[in-house]
Every structure is written in C-alpha cells, then in structure tokens.
Amino acid sequence: MNPLAAFRNVSKSFGHYTVLDNFDLEVMPGEKVTLIGSSGSGKSTVLRILMTLEPFQGGSVEVDGLAYHVPGHKPPFCAPERHLSAIRSRVGMVFQAFNLFPHMTVQRNLVHAPMTVLGLSRKEADRRAQELLAMVGLEEKASSFPDQLSGGQQQRIAIARALAMRPRLLLFDEPTSALDPETVGEVLGVIRRLADEHDLTMILVTHEMGFAREISDRICFLDKGCIIEQGPPDRMLRNPRHPRMREFLASIPTPQTFAEREAGVRADASARCAVTMDT
Amino acid sequence: MNAVLAIDTSSNWGFALSIMPILLRGLIVTVAAAGLGFAIALVIGLLFAILRRSSSRLITWPLVCFLEFVRDTPLLIQLFFLYYVLPGYGIRLPAFLTGAAAIGLQYGAYMAEIYRAGIEAIGRGQWEASVALNLGRRSVYRDVIIPQAIPRIIPALGNCLVSILKETPILYTVSVLEMLNYAIIIGDRTYQYTIPLTLAGALMLFVTTICAYLVRWIELIVPRRGIALR
C-alpha cells in the first residue's frame, strides 16, 4: 500500500533559521499520527506545508500521489495554482484559533465552501451541514453566529466545516490549545469519535498526551526539525528511548483524566472566589 | 438664463428668496456630480486595492507609481488635463462626466489606501481558513475578506464622501453649471456677490451635514456581527 502523505528529505528554513531538516514522514491511509515536541520543533510547520500554507525548499512532499513541487514552476510554491487546488481538495485543516468566518452564520460557514468549490446544490449542502452539525452535537446552533458560541463549540463547528469538504487527510493544529479547560473535553470527544468511526487519515499536533495515547496509531517526537523517535503511543509515552524525548515528557504535566482536571479547575475557581470575597 | 433676469433686487430678503430656486437647481448638479464621483471612486478604489495586493511586480509597480502620482498632484490639474488634453486624443466627454471622472480617479486613489487598511486589518487566520477550504481567489475576496473589511472602513469612506462634496465646486472651472457657477453668474449680473456666495456656502453646509448623519446612520444599520475593532 502506498502512503497517503509522504515527506522525503524535506528541508525548510526561514532565513537562517532551519525549521525542518531532512524531514521524513510517511502516513498510511487511515492512519492516525500524532506529532509532539517542544515549541519550535517544526511540528506545526509539517501541517502547514501539507495544507500549502507554507512553501518548502528541498526534498519532496506528496499527498495521494500528487507531488507538491511541479518541475518548471517558480518558487515559493513551485506549482501552478490549479495543481495546489487539487492538493487542497484532498486535505483539510483545523486550526488552533478556529478561524470560522465571523460574519457568516454557522450554517453559512458549513455550506459556503461546498457550494462554491465543490459545486453542491443549496439543498445538498444544507443536508450535509445538518448531518455534520448532528455529528458534532450542535444541531440547534445552525443560525447562530460564531461569536455567540463558546470556544469549544466554535472548534466543533470548525471541524464540521473541514469535514464538509470531504478531505482524505485531516490536519489538527493544536485544536484544544486555545480553549478553556472545561471545553477541551467536548472537542477531544468529537475528534475521538471521528477517529473511531471513519477511515479518515489524521495528523494531529497536540500537547494532550493522554488523548494522543488514546487515539493515535503512532506518535512521532520532533526535535529541531527531525523526527528523533517514533512508535506506538504506549511504548513511546511509557518507555521513551531518546534522552530528549524523556526530557520533554518530564517537562509537561502528567496526563490527567478529564474528571480530575475538571475537579481541579472547580477547586481553583472556588478558591479564587473565596479570596475575592475576603478583600 | 431667463430665470436670472427675474431676480428681485429690491430687498436683501427678496433677493435671497428669488435666487434660491436657481441655486437649488445648481445644487442638484453639484450633488449628482459628487455622487457619481463617489460611486466611481468606490469601485476603482477597491479595484486598485486588490490589484495592489497582486503577487506580480509587473502589476504592482506601475500601479503604485500611478496611485502616488494621482494622490500627490492637485485635483485641478488632473481635471484640466482630462478636460483639455484628452479631447486631443479623441476622447471627448461632457464637462459633467469629465468632472465626475476626475473626482472619481483622485478619490479612488485615496480609497485604495482605505480599502487596503481595511483588508489588512483582517487576521491571517481568515486567509488561511480560506486556503484550507480551497476557496478561489475571487470567492475569498467577495465572500470572506470584503464583507468583513467594509463595515470597518465605513467611517473613512464617509469622510471621503463629505470631502468629495466640498471639492465638487471645482467643476466650476470647466464650466459645469453647478451651484457655485450659478452663484457667480448671479453675482456678475447683479453686482451683489455676498448673498449668492453666502447662500451657496450655507447650502453646502446643509448638504454635508446631512451626509455626515447619513453615514453615521449607515454605520448603525450595517450588520456588525462578529466584526471586531469598530
């Protein structure tokens, strides 16, 4: 079987700063891969290159058999717009900051691209939107605007919006990092359901180690633009081999269950209230 | 100019009253020229702003030079250029249209900057989401960027409208029969300049004030849902 996405010897730099250094990664169809690493290790850049948001300088990237660089085309992207569009039609992305369109209702957010890009009819797009809203548990929010929703709800809509384009590969760029702790769970729940019920290929960048362990087939640890260790989640998190990976795991808080964390948040909040009332 | 002959010069009030219909007729021309100029500016300003963001230097360089030139030379010279030079190249427009075109061009160059500011105020995330959804360039501007940019720049566009109104009497110089022109004609015929010019000024003030309130009202009714920074 051919990989759905492949990086071969990819290098990318911003000026003198090297972000990816001979980076290699193959992701099989249906595989769920999590990228972890400290900030600046290049994990988000991997996703941004796949989504054609960033160009890269050396090596090759491929999605579904389509090479990102087409010979004879000029930098930065080294490919004609139509080719990039063909690549984008196979890839979807969920952003840390949601990036919903604030001037459109939730419904409009979900039907706009399917209608203008995929050429779906209004009726068909509406039907799809209803299904997706049901999937993320927000049917009653179709006519709301994004700023009337909580962060967690916005991110669930953003996931539905990405799915509406029927990507083969879905990228999650720290999907819960901008969320209040109490809404993280609902977003992770949606992603977990997606991972369980669909054969969608997913690449996830996250700091939620407990979650990464649950849903991924493989965890890759990036350091200075390279994958320095990868393997099945249980082995990687329980028994890391590389010293940098051990250091990294020691530096982040131990994975908690959601119940524990929620209890912690409540205790914290009530303690704060007590202080405010004293003064 | 039959109407001018029927002017009552017996008293100041009678004089003012009798020239009012003539000035109002001129005012309609003034407002029409300003309106047309504003409409032209709105359209070409947006066009300039979008072209200005092109990735091809072959487009942006000449455009930047052209916009800089238009912004930094007097409207009066541009107007004379269009009015006296273009006919030599076979482009012959009525004075009214020439005037509206000159105003539209100069203010279009200003508005290009306003649109640019409005477009640049929109976060990178909106562009990235548009790429991720594979939206074409046209749809990104039409459906995502411009609808979010316009509400933010309405006050600035409104200021342009008021400025244009105040500049329109410049069309007097190419003999468009607008309000200032009528006021001067009345003055020339009656040797009384104070009242016609004062009235013309007062009428301008009246119209610009209405415009300012109109802009404020439009600001209120334009949907502002989800559009921050206002």
Give residue-wise pLDDT tens across range A204-245. Answer: 999 999 899 999 999 999 999 999 999 999 999 989 999 999
- Nearest-Cα distance to chain B for A276, in Å, is 31
pLDDT tens for A168-185 read 999 999 999 999 988 999
Domain made up of B2-220: CATH architecture: Orthogonal Bundle (1.10)
- Please give the single-letter amino acid code of residue B198: T
Say if the Cβ atoms of B148 and A93 lie within 8 Å: no
Residue A161: CB partners within 8 Å, gap ≥ 6?
Answer: A100, A109, A110, A113, B133
Average pLDDT over residues B49-53: 94
Find, in chain A, the residue whose alpha carbon is nearest to that of B143. A112
- Say if residue A141's pLDDT is above 90: yes
Q: Quote the pLDDT of residue B7.
A: 79
Angle of helix B12-52 relative to helix B95-120, nearest 10 degrees, comes to 50
Distance from C-alpha of B42 to C-alpha of A76, rounded to nearest angstrom: 33
Cα(B10)–Cα(A214) distance, integer angstroms: 97
Mean pLDDT of A79-102: 96
DSSP letter at B140 equals I
Provide the pLDDT for residue B170: 94
| Residue B102 or A197, more confident | B102
Instruction: For residue A116, give the nearest of B123, B135, B223 by CB distance.
Output: B135
Segment B171-181, tens digit of pLDDT: 999 989 999 99
ipTM score assigned to the predicted complex = 0.88
Interchain contact, B125 vs A53, CB within 8 Å: no
Residue (of B164, B161, B124, B163) closest to B144 by Cα position:
B124
B136–A116 CB contact, under 8 Å: yes
| Mean confidence (pLDDT) of chain B | 91
Minimal-distance CA residue of chain B relative to A76: B55
The pLDDT-based confidence of B226 (bands split at 50, 70, 90) is: low
Contacts of A85 (CB under 8 A, 6+ apart): B134, B136
At A1, the pLDDT band (50, 70, 90 cuts) reads: confident
d(CA A88, nearest CA chain B) in Å: 6
Please report which confidence band the pLDDT of residue A276 belongs to, taking 50, 70 and 90 as the band edges: very low
SS (H, E, C) chain A: CCCCEEEEEEEEEECCEEEEEEEEEEECCCCEEEEECCCCCCHHHHHHHHCCCCCCCEEEEEECCEECCCCCCCCCCCCCHHHHHHHHCCEEEECCCCCCCCCCCHHHHHHHHHHHCCCCCHHHHHHHHHHHHHHCCCHHHCCCCHHHCCHHHHHHHHHHHHHHCCCCEEEEECCCCCCCHHHHHHHHHHHHHHHHHCCCEEEEECCCHHHHHHHCCEEEEEECCEEEEEECHHHHHHCCCCHHHHHHHHHCCCCCCHHHHHHHHHHHHHHHHHHHHHC
Quick check: helix, strand or coil at residue B227?
coil
HSE value, Cβ hemisphere, 13 Å, CA-based, for B35: 8
Distance to chain A for B68, nearest Cα, Å: 29
Best of B126, B134, B142, B230 to substitute, by most chain A Cβ atoms within 10 angstroms, is B134
Q: How far is A164 from chain B (nearest CA, A)?
A: 9
Task: Give pLDDT, residue A251.
Answer: 86
Query: Considering only alpha carbons, which residue of chain B is nearest residue A146?
Result: B226
User: Percent of chain B, pLDDT > 90?
Assistant: 78
Residues 6+ apart with CB under 8 A from A97: A178, B125
CA separation for the pair A261, A251 (Å, rounded): 18
Look at residues A122, A124, A116, A158 and name the one whose alpha carbon lies nearest to residue A138.
A158
Q: Which of A85, A88, A103 to mutate to test the interface with B (most CBs of B within 10 A)?
A: A103
Chain B partners within 8 Å of A161 (Cβ): 133
CA A218, A33, A209: angle at the middle one, nearest 5? Answer: 75
Does the structure show a pLDDT above 80 at A263?
A: no
- Per-residue pLDDT band at A255 (split at 50, 70, 90): low
Lowest mean pLDDT among A156-165, B84-93, B113-122: B84-93
Q: CA–CA separation, A151 vs A100, rounded Å?
A: 11
Question: B142 pLDDT exceeds 90?
Answer: yes
pTM of the model: 0.85
Q: For residue A78, what are its two tokens? A: 């080294």
Domain extent listing, chain A: 5-90+167-278
Distance CA B122, CA B148 (A): 7
- Residue A114: pLDDT over 70: yes
With both helix axes pointing from N to C terminus, report the angle between B95-120 and B57-72 in degrees, rounded to the nearest 10.
120
Residue ranges of chain A whose CB lies within 8 Å of a chain B CB? 51-53, 85, 88-89, 91-93, 95, 97-103, 112-113, 116-117, 145-147, 161-162, 165
- Dump the DSSP string for B82-110: IIIIGGGGT----HHHHHHHHHHHHHHHH
Confidence label for B220 from pLDDT (cuts 50, 70 and 90): confident
Candidates B34, B35, B22, B32; CA nearest to B181 is B22
Per-residue pLDDT, B10: 82
- CA dihedral of B34, B35, B37, B43, whole degrees rounded to 10: 150
Backbone angles phi, psi at A224, to 5 degrees: 50, 45
Task: Give CATH superfamily name and number for A5-90+167-278.
Answer: P-loop containing nucleotide triphosphate hydrolases (3.40.50.300)
List the domain boundaries for chain B: 2-220
pLDDT at A261 over 60: no
pLDDT digits (tens, 9 = 90+) for B1-23: 444 457 787 888 889 999 999 99
User: How far does B225 lie from chain A, in Å, by closest CA?
Assistant: 6
Q: What is the mean pLDDT of residues A118-135?
A: 96
B193/B55: higher pLDDT: B193
Q: What is the pLDDT of residues A19-67, one digit of tens each?
A: 999 999 999 999 999 999 998 899 999 999 999 999 999 999 999 999 9
Q: Which residue of B has its CA nearest to A54?
A: B128
Q: pLDDT-based confidence at B84, cuts 50/70/90? A: very high
At A87 the pLDDT is 96
Tokens of B195: 């009242």
Using a CB-CB cut-off of 8 Å, the residues of chain B touching A89 are: 134
Q: Closest-CA residue in chain B for A115?
A: B135
Question: B148 with B227: CB under 8 angstroms?
Answer: yes
Q: Which residues contact B30 (CB under 8 A, 6 or more apart)?
A: B165, B168, B169, B171, B178, B179, B180, B204, B207
